[in-house]
Amino acid sequence: MKDRSRDASWGYSSPLKRLLHRLSRNRTWLVVVLSMISVFSLTSVGILIFEHRLNEGFRSLGDVIWWTIVTASTVGYGDKVPETTGGRVVAILVIVFGVLAASIVTGRIASWLVEWKIKEGSGLATQRKLTKHLVICGWKNEMPGFLTGILKVNRKLTSEDIVLVSTVEPAAIENLRSVPELHNIGFVRGDHVDEAVLHRANIKRAAKVLILADSSVAGTAQEVDARTVMTAMTIKSISKDIYTCVELIDSKFERYLQSVHCDEIFLSRQHNRLLLANASAASGVSHVVRDLLDMEQNCLVTREFPAKFVGDTFSSLSQYFMEAERSILIGLLENTGNIFQRKREALRMAQRTPDLSRLVANLQEVKKLQGNHPVFNPGPDYEIKQYARAILIQT
């Protein structure tokens, strides 16, 4: 479990805070509390009237309130006892009310908790309080291993920061939650193509969205990809600032995702094809890629670097990482972050030139801008640009 102070990348809402928030939204509790205050006030006044002059134990309002609370809770210390007939009648009423109030409150809490648990388990609850969380749309057959892999790569992420949106049965989610690391994972049951379902996952306040090629829905590869693209377009229509990663089976739909500024597109079939082709040539590339991407070793990483290196050379940055971390700089990942924001900022910068011919050239460069564009071994004098990350091999 990570530090609760958290960073800006991921939101956190503790179970206790969420519980208190849900209790505060339930109007029944307001009625119960007001009723208890009213009855306590009336009985306290009654005891004060009957016992004030005759009983040494009820000389002040504080004495009366203490006795009322102790008696209503059926604790009964016996330090203060009514002596008049009227006082004893009031005491009987306080005891009866205390037992009834305890039964009502306990019953309401139990009923509410059961209802809440059923809603959460069946995916009908709305994730209102989560912010800066990760939303995963779709399902994979190897989901437990896939999700634990996400937690290993994202060290500052916990299962409480993940919300699954899928049409799978609640039993599948219960099996998923049986894994200790995934015990508190959120679930919204429904079709992720539906905008209303996405809003239940609080998509607008999410930090990142991962859209999978959904294996839980029957259909051809093209039908699965079509649903994936529809989901991505719906999410980007809600907010263009959400960082969106999309898995496609085939590359035919890639241009549609690029048109809505998806930040990362993973072509699973093409990836597998390239690895198999290299394996057939006995090049050993498949082993290299497997070891570099191994989540336990965490060899291949991208890393932010100090802002002072922007405008500096590749060789200077390479020397910095070698001396500071003994890591090998193999390239730069340029235009990182949300590509829509990068293009919007680049467009503002491009329009500042008074030279019309240069303006046209600048606008063309903005159009060609690629998000998360890798540049490998660019040369020692290559200038480090803003919004770049270092591509490192950790030793």
Q: What is the CATH number of the domain that holds 322?
A: 3.30.70
If asked whether residues 112 and 140 sit together in one domain, one would say no
Q: How many helices (H) and strands (E) does the chain have?
A: 14, 10
Q: Rounded distance, CA 137 to CA 377, Å? A: 35
Q: Which has more confidence, 350 or 314?
A: 314
| pLDDT bucket at 11, cuts 50 / 70 / 90 | very low
Residue 7: pLDDT over 50: no
The CA distance from 318 to 331, in Å, is 9
Instruction: For residues 273 and 152, give the distance between their C-alpha atoms in angstroms, rounded to a whole number.
Output: 26
User: What is the token pair recorded at 382?
Assistant: 């290559």
Looking at residue 27, what is its pLDDT? 59
Write out the two tokens for 183. Answer: 């015990």
**Residue 90's CATH number:** 1.10.287.70
Q: Which of 102, 101, 106, 82 is nearest to 92 (CA)?
A: 82
Q: How many CB atoms lie within 10 A of CB 171?
A: 9
pLDDT in tens, 286-340: 888 888 887 667 688 888 999 999 999 999 999 999 999 899 999 999 888 877 7
Is the domain of 153 the same as that of 218?
Answer: yes
Higher per-residue pLDDT: 7 or 92: 92
Task: Provide the token pair at 226.
Answer: 């079509």
Query: pTM (2 decimals)?
Result: 0.66
248 and 200 fall within a common domain: yes
Out of 27-36, 69-78, 140-149, pick the least confident: 27-36
Separation between Cα atoms, residue 195 and residue 357, nearest integer Å: 43
Closest C-alpha to 163, from 195, 193, 138: 138
201 and 306, same domain (yes or no): no
Whether 260 and 154 map to the same domain: the answer is yes
Quote the pLDDT of residue 40.
Answer: 73
Looking at the fold, whether 104 and 209 belong to one and the same domain comes out as no
In the predicted structure, residue 20 carries a pLDDT above the cut 60: no
* In the predicted structure, residue 22 carries a pLDDT above the cut 60: no
pLDDT, position 362 = 66
User: Could you give the angle at which helices 339-350 and 356-367 cross, rounded to 10 degrees?
Assistant: 170
Please give the pLDDT value at position 225. Answer: 94
Do 105 and 144 share a domain, yes or no?
A: no
- Residue 176's domain spans which residues? 134-272
CATH of the domain at 170: 3.40.50.720
Q: Which two tokens stand for residue 196?
A: 């209303």
pLDDT of residue 26: 56
Region 347-376: what's the mean pLDDT? 74
Average pLDDT in the chain: 81
Q: Are residues 73 and 190 in the same domain?
A: no
- The DSSP-derived string for 115-172 is HHHHHHHHT-S---S--S-EEEES--TTHHHHHHHHHHH-TT--GGGEEEEE-S-HHH
Give CA–CA dist 131/120, Å, rounded.
18
> Distance between the two ends of the chain, CA-based, in angstroms?
26
* Whole-number percent of the chain with pLDDT over 90: 33
Residue 375 has a pLDDT of 92
Beta strands across the sheet bearing 208-211: 186-189, 162-166, 134-137, 208-211, 243-248, 264-267
CB neighbours of residue 186 within 10 Å? 23
Which carries the bigger pLDDT value, residue 87 or residue 150?
150
Is 216 in contact with 189 (CB distance < 8 Å)?
A: no
Per the structure, the count of domains in the chain is 3
Which of the 8 DSSP states describes residue 313? B
Residues 143 and 256 in one domain: yes
For the four alpha carbons of 44, 50, 52 and 55, in that order, the dihedral sign comes to negative
Q: Is 329 part of any domain?
A: yes
Report which of residues 277 and 72 the model is more confident about.
Answer: 277
- C-alpha 358/C-alpha 342 separation (Å) is 20
* Domain membership flag for residue 280: no
| Residue 12: pLDDT over 50 | no
C-alpha distances in Å from residue 387, one per residue of 156, 239, 245, 325: 21, 21, 18, 21
* DSSP code, position 384: P
Q: Higher confidence at residue 54 or residue 265?
A: 265
Q: What is the pLDDT of residues 31-75, one digit of tens each?
A: 667 777 777 777 778 877 787 777 777 777 777 778 877 877 766
Q: Where a domain ends, among 76, 93, 122?
A: 122
- pLDDT reading at 383 higher than 90: yes
Contacts of 21 (CB under 8 A, 6+ apart): 128, 129
pLDDT in tens, 192-207: 999 999 999 999 999 9
The pLDDT score that the predictor gives to residue 203 is 93
Query: What pLDDT score does 136 carry?
Result: 95
User: What is residue 8's predicted lDDT score, i.e. its pLDDT?
Assistant: 40
* 93 and 146 inside one domain: no
Per the domain annotation, does 7 fall within a domain?
A: no
Q: What distance in Å separates the CA atoms of residue 163 and residue 136, rounded to the nearest whole number?
A: 6
Select from 98, 122, 146 the last residue of a domain.
122
Q: Give the confidence band of 382 by pLDDT, cuts at 50, 70, 90.
A: very high
Give the closest residue to 158 by CA, choosing from 124, 186, 123, 188: 186
Name the residue with higher pLDDT: 380 or 366.
380
Alpha carbons 381 and 119: distance in angstroms, whole number: 58
Q: Is the confidence at residue 212, as pLDDT, over 60?
A: yes
> Residue 83 is encoded by which pair of tokens?
């002596």
Could you tell me if residue 73 is inside a domain? Answer: yes
